[in-house]
Amino acid sequence: MKIVPGAVCEAGTSRVNKTGGWRTFKPVYDYDKCIKCKLCELLCPDSSVLPKEDGYFEFDYDYCKGCGICANECPKQAITMVLEEK
Amino acid sequence: MARETKMDKQKMVVVEGSYAVANAVRVCKPNVISAYPITPQTHIVEELSKFMADGEIPNCEYINVESEFSALSALVGSSAVGARSYSATTSQGLELMHEVLFNVAGMRLPIVMTVANRAVSAPINIWNDHQDSISQRDTGWIQLYAENIQEVSDMTAQAFKISEDRDVMMPCMTCMDGFILSHVYEPLVLLEQEITDEFLPPFRPERILDSKNPLTFGAFADPNIYTEFRYQQERAMQNALKKIEDTANEFYDMYGRHFGGLIDEYRTEDADIIIMAMGSIIGTIKDVIDRLRERNVKVGLLKVRAFRPFPAEAIMNVIRDVKVVVVLDKNISLGMNAGALFIETKSVLYNTDIDVPVIGYMMGQGGRDVPMSTIEKIISDAEEVMRSGIKIESQFTDLKEELV
Amino acid sequence: MKEIRIHGRGGQGSVTAAELLAVAAFADGKFSQAFPAFGVERRGAPVQAFTRISDAPIRLRSQIYKPDYVIVQDPTLLESVDVASGLKDDGTLIINSDFDPETFKLDTKAKIMTVNATKIALDIIGMPIVNTVLLGAFAGATGEIRPESIMGAVRERFPGKVGERNAQAIMKAYEMMEGQK
Ligand code: SF4
Ligand code: SF4
């Protein structure tokens, strides 16, 4: 490997690092309670809340680290943190 | 080594130093300019804004920002996409850029910036010395210092060429003494468009930021590879040594003007005493030397044009056989009781076979005028050193003892 | 080399006068350099500006301590500023005033000359702008520079009617001083 002056490299290399494996608890939606306020999408530090066509959201479990911020911030308690079965 | 510059009076006009620089920037066809006004740099950005408003800099964006930090940060982005990028600042504005200066150099972005050298606060002082740029010497920017407005104008084109060279790719500060050069009216040949178009090829970096082919710039480097990035930067600085010389020579061939490469010399053949200095004080020193030569004082001048990279070899070649070297500094490294040029000069002589006494004078701080008489007195001190050795190695000049 | 110091108040155009003098001297075939007394400029505060004129290129960057000529734009400055400071014995001091030169008791051996530049400016330009008028007076009093060069520099800086009127006022002041020599 050679380093490139200016530390220039391919973009988006963090995709290779699938952080989903770090999870102990995983977030699960209850769409009956969700009011589509987008807070979970906005606050997820890992961009792991992806919008769906119908206005609801889904989790990208490849990268969701299970931090629980989304569940904590959801004003309708529409997200539950469930223990991962590993 | 000194090349003769014959100025064609027909081509000269009398303008302000700031206008001369702004015009040179225009002629170099920048794509992005971003700067925040600060005395005494203000006239440069005013003139550039005027050029922009009059549509005289095509294909260029002038980004208004709310601080110097933002000004340089904006240029990090523009330079990375392959836009020729320019800024100008001074004093506290330059110090506010400190963090970004490292980023620019580390990302190897060849931004050119004029520094209208000014003292630093506190106490507030808007007048000239070199403390602002000298304090940025380890940021990885090439630093060139100009003697008059012709030189700083010409230096602008040279700076882009040096910085954008593939073997260099390091940013450059072109330093002009605030007020003394930024606000002076004197004759010069304005940078010529036609010759510059030939002299300075368009900026075509190897790697650019492009949404169609995304790259990450200035990415993370862990302890396994960080050292190697620093090594590359140092090697680029060493490459710049040759590039600065070559560019000055090439400039001379095309424009017929030469003010030195890394250094310049004035009446140094046969000199016993060599004065070293940077910036606009050079002119005054030349006048003093002419006067003293009439009295058979064998004194010459070593003008340091490049402070970074430091031209150790070029300096050693000039002072190898002289009897005493006097270094003038418009700055001080506090706690060292010495100016930077003096410290560097002494340090490159150690571990060599050159054994010449070097004395240093700190002067001109915060715009304190340096009359010919001050330099004459320093030279007579140097004659005393030749006779009986060094008594004071480094000292303040014209200090008003009664005030302290 | 000849060194000139111009005293005025912030807003009176002393710096512009010094610059125009440099432009004019260069047009006359000389080398020149003009610079302000690098201060924090405020309207009304005493300010100074300097010009050097020489046959050879000018390298000297220090301030001017021993001027050959001094121009005073506003005689009330004499109360607070030592306008004759350092003025060479064989030099000339030009004051904008309608009094005779003898009225001014200044500590100098230099020649003192007066010109009512304010009146000339009011009569011809229609405004009390004296900086350019005094350059005409300088040319007439010293012979250091051709009045045509000064008029040329002023016309270039202020195109159109303004420049034309200034040029007339410059010529008038020039002739008045020529007569006094
Ligand atoms: S924060 Fe809760 S209510 Fe709001 S969109 Fe997300 S899941 Fe639905
Ligand atoms: S648990 Fe944390 S990482 Fe996972 S989706 Fe919620 S906020 Fe994002």
The complex's ipTM works out to: 0.93
> What mean pLDDT comes out for the span B350-375?
97
| Whole-Å CA distances, B37 to B72, B115, B116, C176 | 13, 12, 11, 44
What distance in Å separates the CA atoms of residue A6 and residue A4, rounded to the nearest whole number?
Answer: 6
Reading the block at residue C107, the tokens are 């500590």
At residue B2, does pLDDT exceed 60?
A: no
Of the pLDDT bands very low, low, confident and very high (cuts 50, 70, 90), residue C44 is: confident
Distances (CA, A) of B86 to B119, B168, B197, B239, B304: 22, 17, 17, 22, 24
As a whole-number percent, the residues of chain C with pLDDT over 90 amount to: 86
Tell me: pLDDT of C40 over 70: no
Alpha-carbon distances of A84 from A18, A20, A27, A65, A66, rounded to whole Å: 16, 11, 10, 11, 10
Distance A37 CA to ligand 1 centre (A): 5
Closest in A3, A6, A11 to B214, CB measured: A11
pLDDT given at position B356:
97
pLDDT at B1: 47
Distance from the alpha carbon of residue A28 to the mean position of ligand 2, in angstroms:
10
DSSP assignment letter at C69: E
The predicted-structure confidence for B197-245, as pLDDT tens digits, reads as follows 999 999 999 999 999 999 999 988 999 999 999 999 999 999 999 999 9
Ligand 1 is surrounded, with C-beta below 6 A, by A 34-40, 57, 74, 76, 78-79
The lowest-confidence range among A74-83, B212-221, B308-317, B335-344 is B212-221
Whether the predicted pLDDT of B269 surpasses 60:
yes
Q: How many angstroms separate the CA of residue B281 from the nearest CA in chain C?
A: 7
Gap from B256 CA to chain A (nearest CA, Å)? 35
The pLDDT value recorded for residue C42 is 67
CB contact under 8 A, B284 and C32: no
Is residue C69 within 8 A of residue C5, CB to CB? The reply is: yes
- Provide the 10 A C-beta neighbour count for residue C163: 18
pLDDT at B188: 98
Instruction: Look up residue B40 and give its two tokens.
Output: 């005494």
- Give the closest-approach CA distance of A33 to chain B in angstroms: 39
- What pLDDT is attached to residue A15? 85
- Give B8 or B152, the one with higher predicted confidence: B152
Secondary structure percentages of chain A, helix, strand, coil, to 5: 20, 20, 60
Hey, whose CA ends up nearest to atom 6 of ligand 1? Answer: A40
Is the pLDDT score of C177 beyond 90? yes
Cα nearest neighbour of B217 on chain A: A8
Reduced to 3 states (helix: H, G, I; strand: E, B; else coil), residue B147 is: coil
pLDDT at C179 over 90: no
Query: For position C12, what pLDDT does the model report?
Result: 87
The backbone region for B384, taken as left when phi is positive above 0, alpha when psi lies in -120 to 50, beta otherwise, is alpha
| Mean pLDDT calculated for residue range C123-133 | 94
Mutation to probe ligand 1, out of A43, A52, A64, A79 (largest number of atoms < 8 A from CB): A79
Considering chain C, what is the average pLDDT of its residues?
Answer: 93
pLDDT of C165: 95
For helices B149-164 and B17-27, give the axis angle rounded to 10 degrees. 30
Per-residue pLDDT tens digits for B9-25: 899 999 999 999 999 99
**B271-291 pLDDT tens trace:** 999 999 999 999 999 999 999
What's the A52 CA to ligand 2 centre distance in angstroms?
Answer: 16
Q: Indicate whether C181 pLDDT > 80.
A: no
Chain B residues with beta carbon closer than 8 angstroms to that of C29: 9
pLDDT digits (tens, 9 = 90+) for B78-102: 999 999 999 999 999 999 999 999 9
Position C45 scores a pLDDT of 82
For residue A79, how far is its CA from the centre of ligand 1 (angstroms)? 8
- pLDDT at residue C70, rounded to an integer: 98
Q: Considering only alpha carbons, which residue of chain B is nearest residue A10?
A: B215
